[in-house]
Copies of this chain bind each other. A is one copy, B any other.
Amino acid sequence: MIIVLKPGTTPAEFDHVIERIHQLGLKPHVSTGEHRTIIGVIGDENKLQAQPLQAIPGVEQVLPIMKPFKLASREFNKKDTVVAVGKVKIGGGSLGMIAGPCAVEGVEILDEIAGPVKNAGANILRGGAFKPRTSPYSFQGLGEEGLKILHDIGAKHDMPVVTEVMDPRQVPLVERYADMFQIGARNMQNFDLLKEVGQTKKPVLMKRGMSATVKDLLMSAEYVLAEGNANVVLCERGVRSFEDSTRNMLDMSAVPNVKVMSHLPIIVDPSHATGRPDLIPSMALAAVAAGADGVHIEVHSCPEKALSDGPQALLPPRYAEVMKQIRRLAEMFGKTF
């Protein structure tokens, strides 16, 4: 931590800053420059980050040196983490290929989608039973009924399943049916929910919030890790921007950026990121080329009748084509699924 003093700080203000640093059990290291005095603070930066040093009279800037996350950091774990979802591995060269409809709508329709995506190479089935919809008047999901259907169709096709949990009270219920929790973008900083899934052993797919920085995303992962659950897979799904021809803006650089800062796997969801089926295939390929540990694509056999997000779903045959290309690309990079 570095503290920069305002020009014209009084000796009393200076002494007060130094005293506060000592009170915290830390050591100040003063450099007096031509225009500014700077104080390097030696000691546990985590202790300091919780302190409102900026508010001390005479302080102009407080510059943190260390990253605010620890368990999620690359420094904590040099080796890439591999997360197991049922028999499927995500990370370390194994790609998680997640596919399925936005929402679970019924047994037949899910079965009709699961078969083809499994054949195309998908290894995890997705489907929402609890849906976070912007409008209270939109379809809110089938609830437990949807969870059962997802579980059964997953079992039938031998695929582990992932589904969103929105409410800490639903965690035990969702845990019974799902192989992986999904934390949606809108709940990335729903900290009580994060703590709750952190207390289970089930893997967690953590979607990036709509205006979360990469550091924010890693801080939210840290919440889960700090509770003892190390099985976190991050997911880039686009962020809010001024661009109005796509639903969100896919921040592809988040993939290598996360890999520099953290040991956790990261996958990409081009469906929510673009909202446009015509852009999904090339973004899925780009994600694998960027080093992603998997791709999350929404597939629906009849997008025009889908109860949620139909317009952004691929048809199963288009998904199968894309998966062929992804497979060749993955091989080129020495990865498998």
Distance of A66 from chain B, by nearest CB (Å): 6
Contact status A55-B310, CB under 8 Å = yes
User: Which chain B residues border A210 with CB–CB below 8 Å?
Assistant: 209-211
| Cβ A311 vs Cβ B55 within 8 A | yes
| C-alpha gap A97/B43 in the complex (Å) | 41
| Distance (whole angstroms) from the CB of A211 to the closest CB of chain B | 3
Give me 14 other A-B pairs in contact (C-beta within 8 A), A211-B240, A246-B253, A289-B289 excluded: A2-B63, A20-B304, A31-B42, A50-B137, A136-B226, A211-B239, A213-B245, A214-B243, A215-B244, A215-B245, A240-B240, A250-B253, A253-B270, A255-B282
Q: How far is the CA of A286 from the CA of B256 in the complex (A)?
A: 11
Q: Which of A79-87, A118-126, A165-173 contacts B (4 or more CB under 8 A)?
A: A165-173
Choose among A222, A240, A241, A286 the residue with the greatest number of B CB atoms under 10 Å from its CB. Answer: A286
The one of B135, B167, B278 in contact with A222, judged by C-beta atoms closer than 8 angstroms, is B135
Number of copies: 4
| CB < 8 Å neighbour of A134 from B65, B216, B276 | B216
A313 CB-CB contact with B under 8 Å: yes
Which residues of A approach B to under 8 Å, CB–CB?
A: 2, 4, 7, 20, 29, 31-36, 38, 40-46, 49-50, 52-57, 61, 63, 65-66, 68-69, 75, 132-139, 166-169, 186-187, 189-193, 209-211, 213-216, 219, 222-223, 226, 239-246, 249-253, 255-257, 260-261, 270, 273-274, 276, 278-279, 282-283, 285-291, 303-307, 309-311, 313, 328-329, 332
Which among B65, B252, B332 is the interface contact of A332 at CB below 8 angstroms? Answer: B332
Chain B residues closer than 8 Å to A187, beta-carbon distance: 189-190
| B278 & A282 in contact (Cβ 8 Å cutoff) | no
Please determine whether B38 and A33 come into contact, CB atoms closer than 8 angstroms: no
Q: Which residues of B contact A226 (CB under 8 A)?
A: 136-137
Q: Would you call the interface of chain A mostly helix, strand, loop, or mixed?
A: mixed
Give the chain B neighbours of A61 by CB distance below 8 A: 65
**How far is it, in angstroms, between the C-alpha of A279 and the C-alpha of B29 when the chains are bound?**
31
Residue from B52, B191, B216, B282 within 8 A of A132 (CB atoms): B191
Cβ B213 vs Cβ A313 within 8 A: no
- Minimum CB–CB distance from A307 to chain B (whole Å) comes to 8
Contact A52–B305 (Cβ < 8 Å): yes
Q: How far is the CA of A276 from the CA of B255 in the complex (A)?
A: 13
Find chain B residues with CB under 8 A from A311 CB: 52, 54-55
Q: Is the CB of B241 within 8 A of A239?
A: yes
Q: Which residue of B lies closest to A195 (CB)?
A: B136
Q: How far is the CB of A49 from chain B (nearest CB, A)?
A: 7
